[in-house]
């Protein structure tokens, strides 16, 4: 990386804006945020605050744009921060402005429903010339805590050591602590799957008659199921015990700051899934990831009773209480 670098952040959501703000705190970084929605772009630019998190003040050094060409022109690093279901479309539109030397880093977590690709794989599929220059950024990291400068450990995962080392130096800014991994597949699977299990964690919490014992049993069973899936798909065993899997699962399956967890709690109240999503307002990645995770397990012949049960609760009107069946428990 050159001493002075241009960083393009695609997506002005809370997480993208928080990361952009941290990067802009370093004088050698030129940061530009691309935002699709006109009203969001206006608020970010004019009011220098985020519509969904007004406590976050946007650094005046950050440029806000609705032009992908402006955002990507001469960029050294492109950070993907749009919801995972929109990644392919955004990359397709960005393709004419991508340089051969640009490095991509995905903050987005998810598995594409049709192809069952992770976000990094989607980027490589759309931009085949980017071999070894696409990385993933994952781990237990609530954006609102990072915005408040609460110390947070993150995994940076990629295939090429030199590129990972260069990017890790860019992101080594308080409050972030960077850990490097070469298991990009395992890290991304952990980041995507934990969103599904977090929904189940919310359901377990919201049910009448459950307690901390129940929650501990659920988290243990979820981790075991994740382990089967990740190893089956080629992930490393060490990744299972790491930040992007165990760490992220514990964080998002036990806290009201997690949208997926709150969504699960609303399902436990027998609320219609679509109504529950509307009440949460911001993107709940786990809702779509349930379908992808179920298809992924079926394709790879992995038995995943928890994922299957969450799918039935959301899409087949199964009773929320049946989540306990998947871990060998019941109420009453």
pLDDT greater than 70 at residue 60: yes
DSSP classification of residue 47 = I
pLDDT band of 248, cuts 50, 70, 90: very high
**Percent with pLDDT over 70 in the chain:** 99
Q: What is the pLDDT of residue 74?
A: 95
pLDDT band of 161, cuts 50, 70, 90: confident
Top-confidence residue, 13 or 129? 13
- 259 contacts: CB under 8 Å, gap ≥ 6: 280, 282, 283, 284, 285, 286
Helix (H) or strand (E) holding 81: none
Cβ count near 65 (within 10 Å): 17
| Residue 35 falls in which region: left (phi positive, over 0), alpha (psi -120 to 50) or beta | beta
CB 282 within 8 A of CB 259: yes
Top-confidence residue, 284 or 299? 299
Q: What is the pLDDT of residue 2?
A: 65
Average pLDDT, whole number, for the chain?
Answer: 95
CA–CA distance, 183 with 264 (Å, rounded to integer): 30
Q: Region 46-64: what's the mean pLDDT?
A: 93
Range of lowest pLDDT (178-182, 200-204, 285-289): 285-289
pLDDT greater than 80 at residue 332: no
Instruction: Give me Rg for the CA atoms of the chain.
Output: 19
**Percent with pLDDT over 90 in the chain:** 90
Question: Sheet harboring 5-10: ordered strands across?
Answer: 63-65, 29-34, 5-10, 77-80, 103-106, 134-138, 152-157, 176-181
Top-confidence residue, 159 or 83? 83
Catalytic residues: 194
Q: Each residue of 139-177: b (16+ CB within 10 Å) or e?
A: bbbbbebbbeeeebebbbbbbeeebbeebbebbebeebe
Q: Would you state the structure tokens that stand for residue 233, as one six-digit string? A: 């798909």
pLDDT band of 1, cuts 50, 70, 90: low
- 248 contacts: CB under 8 Å, gap ≥ 6: 138, 139, 140, 190, 191, 194
CA–CA distance, 307 with 259 (Å, rounded to integer): 18
Total-model pTM:
0.94
Ranges of H-type helices in the chain: 14-24, 38-42, 68-72, 87-94, 119-126, 143-147, 161-171, 184-206, 212-232, 237-240, 248-252, 259-268, 273-280, 285-299, 305-315
Q: How are beta strands 63-65 and 134-138 bridged, if at all?
A: unpaired
Please report the domains of the chain, with CATH numbers, ordered by start residue.
5-182 (3.40.50.720), 185-327 (1.10.1040.10)
Q: Region 225-230: what's the mean pLDDT?
A: 97
pLDDT band of 160, cuts 50, 70, 90: confident
CA–CA distance, 14 with 147 (Å, rounded to integer): 9
């Amino acid at each position: 990386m050159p001493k002075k670098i241009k960083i393009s952040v695609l997506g002005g959501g809370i997480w993208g804006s928080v990361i952009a703000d941290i990067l802009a705190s370093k004088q050698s970084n030129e940061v530009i945020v691309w935002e699709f929605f006109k009203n969001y772009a206006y608020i970010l630019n004019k009011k220098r605050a985020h519509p969904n998190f007004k406590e976050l003040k946007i650094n005046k050094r950050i440029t806000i744009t609705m032009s992908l060409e402006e955002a990507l022109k001469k960029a050294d690093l492109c950070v993907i921060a749009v919801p995972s279901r929109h990644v392919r479309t955004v990359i397709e539109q960005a393709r004419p402005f991508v340089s051969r030397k640009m490095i991509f880093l995905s903050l987005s977590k998810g598995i594409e429903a049709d192809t069952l690709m992770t976000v990094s794989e989607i980027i490589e599929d759309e931009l085949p010339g980017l071999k070894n220059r696409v990385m993933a950024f994952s781990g237990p990291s609530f954006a609102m805590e990072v915005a408040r400068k609460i110390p947070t450990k993150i995994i940076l995962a990629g295939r090429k050591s030199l590129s990972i080392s260069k990017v890790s130096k860019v992101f080594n800014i308080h409050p972030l602590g960077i850990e490097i991994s070469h298991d990009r597949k395992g890290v991304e699977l952990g980041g995507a799957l934990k969103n599904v299990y977090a929904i189940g964690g919310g359901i377990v919490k919201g049910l009448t008659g459950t307690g901390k014992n129940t929650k501990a049993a659920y988290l243990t069973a979820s981790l075991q199921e994740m382990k089967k899936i990740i190893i089956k798909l080629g992930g490393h065993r060490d990744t299972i015990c790491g930040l992007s899997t165990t760490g992220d699962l514990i964080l998002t399956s036990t806290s009201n700051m997690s949208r997926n967890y709150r969504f699960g709690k609303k399902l436990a109240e027998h609320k219609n899934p679509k109504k529950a999503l509307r009440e949460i307002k911001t993107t709940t990645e786990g809702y779509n990831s349930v379908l992808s995770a179920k298809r992924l397990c079926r394709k790879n012949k992995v038995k995943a009773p928890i994922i299957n049960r969450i799918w039935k609760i959301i899409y087949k009107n199964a009773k929320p209480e049946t989540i306990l069946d998947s871990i060998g428990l019941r109420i009453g």
